[in-house]
Amino acid sequence: MTHSKILGTGGYLPEKVLTNHDLEAMVETSDAWIQERTGIRKRHIVSDTESTCDLAEQAARCALDMAGCRPEEIDLIIIATTTPDQIFPSTASILQQRLRIHNACPVFDIQAVCTGFVYALGIADQFIRNGSVKRALVIGAESFSRIIDWTDRGTCVLFGDGAGAVVLGASDEQGIIATHLHADGRYRTLLHVPGGPGKAPADHDAWDHHVHMKGNEVFKWAVNTLGKIAEETLEANGFAKSDLDWLIPHQANVRIIQATARKLKLPMERVVVTVQDHGNTSAASVPLALDVAVRDGRIQPGQLLLMEAFGGGFTWGSALVRF
């Protein structure tokens, strides 16, 4: 049986850093409030000359390097992003050209907001399992700062920009054990950007391209859902909570992460937390956290990892992985 194995990881954060103290000068907030309610200290923000594809390219090159894989060996690219460079073609098409992958392999973007990377991993895994793809580049990349209303203190303190990537390869060894993907569109207006190119122009918010969020309702949903999906995933695949080596959760708020760890009876030492330095980078958050813990040596070959995410839609999902 063919499995998808993670062969390499990569991450990239734009150079520009925005601290909580910087935000104090922009909206009525304080470093103390942001740290206490979210755990965030700083986030990285794209410059005026950077795009989502620039971030994706850097992360992809790091992952390819670690995997020892040449770009032309890649036969699938999926980029999870809410903030593509263009309406079309896909950011994956732009990246395919930049990496000079001229083998006519399929490339596309997917949109599941903060759950995007986990969705993309699940999709790539299907291609590899059915034998049509041998090496996939799966990326989460966001310039989320571009869709933030920088006068709204309820959202602008939470988000950041970045990209994370993995190279997946077909293998006889176990790798991605299972992915579980979910959505419930009834809750879509609790966290959304109302405008879009396809919306009827007469609709009063067709041109509103900023994030709107009912923070405390999203918080409750995220805590409940992330706890449930972790348990659902372990049980469905015959694992106990104690089998887990690492939880790599979506990095939205440290209080949400701590609540999930408590439900799993997992000490925080076995949870990868980057939210303090990255903020919420949406689709980039899980692969960036994965890359940090792989590169600093915490995550070792053979360990059992659970990645999980929650985001606008609502969407949520998990990936159980033997690294």
Residue keyed to tokens 């104090």: 24
Q: What is the DSSP letter of 280?
A: B
Closest approach of ligand COA to the CB of residue 204, in Å: 24
If binding is defined by CB under 6 A, does position 182 make contact with ligand COA? no
Site for ligand COA contains 274 (CB under 6 A): no
Among 2, 29, 111, 174, contact with ligand COA (rule: CB under 6 A)? 29
Q: Going by C-beta distance under 8 Å and a sequence separation of 6 or more, which residues neighbour residue 223? A: 256, 259, 260
277, two tokens: 């330095």
Exactly one of 53, 62, 114, 156 is catalytic; which is it? 114
When asked if residue 157 is in the footprint of ligand COA (CB under 6 A), the reply is yes
Judged by CB under 6 A, the stretch of 54-62, 68-76, 149-157, 241-249 that binds ligand COA is 149-157
CB-CB contact of 45 with 39 (8 Å): no
Shortest distance in whole angstroms from residue 162 CB to ligand COA: 15
Residue nearer to ligand COA on the CB measure, 59 or 218: 218
Could you give the CA distance from residue 229 to residue 231 in angstroms, rounded to a whole number?
A: 5
For the purposes of burial, counting CB atoms within 10 Å of the CB of 280, is it exposed (0-12), middle (13-18) or buried (19 or more)?
Answer: buried
Residue of 222, 216, 223 lying closest to 155 (CA atoms)? 216
311 binds ligand COA (CB under 6 A): yes
Query: Which among 44-52, 117-125, 218-226, 228-236 is the span making contact with ligand COA, rule CB under 6 A?
Result: 218-226
Q: Where are the beta strands (DSSP E) in the chain?
A: 3-12, 17-19, 42-44, 76-80, 107-110, 135-142, 162-171, 176-183, 191-192, 212-213, 246-249, 304-311, 315-322
Least Cβ distance, residue 22 to ligand COA (angstroms): 13
User: Segment contacting ligand COA (CB under 6 A): 173-181, 194-202, 217-225, 238-246?
Assistant: 217-225
Crossing angle of helices 116-129/285-295, nearest 10°? 80
CA angle 8, 318, 235 (to 5 degrees): 120
User: Has 250 been annotated as catalytic?
Assistant: yes
The identity of residue 90, as a single letter, is S
Nearer to ligand COA, 114 or 123 (CB): 114
List C-alpha distances in Å: 255 to 125, 211, 219, 220, 314: 31, 21, 9, 11, 19
- The 94-123 contact track toward ligand COA, x by CB under 6 A, reads --------------------x---------
Q: Which of 98, 146, 153, 270 binds ligand COA (CB under 6 A)?
A: 153
Out of 89, 219, 231, 263, the residue judged to bind ligand COA by CB under 6 A: 219
Measured from the CB atom, the residue of 30 and 132 that comes closer to ligand COA is: 30
List residues binding ligand COA (CB under 6 A): 29, 33-34, 37-38, 114, 153-154, 157, 213, 215-216, 218-219, 222, 252-253, 280, 310-311
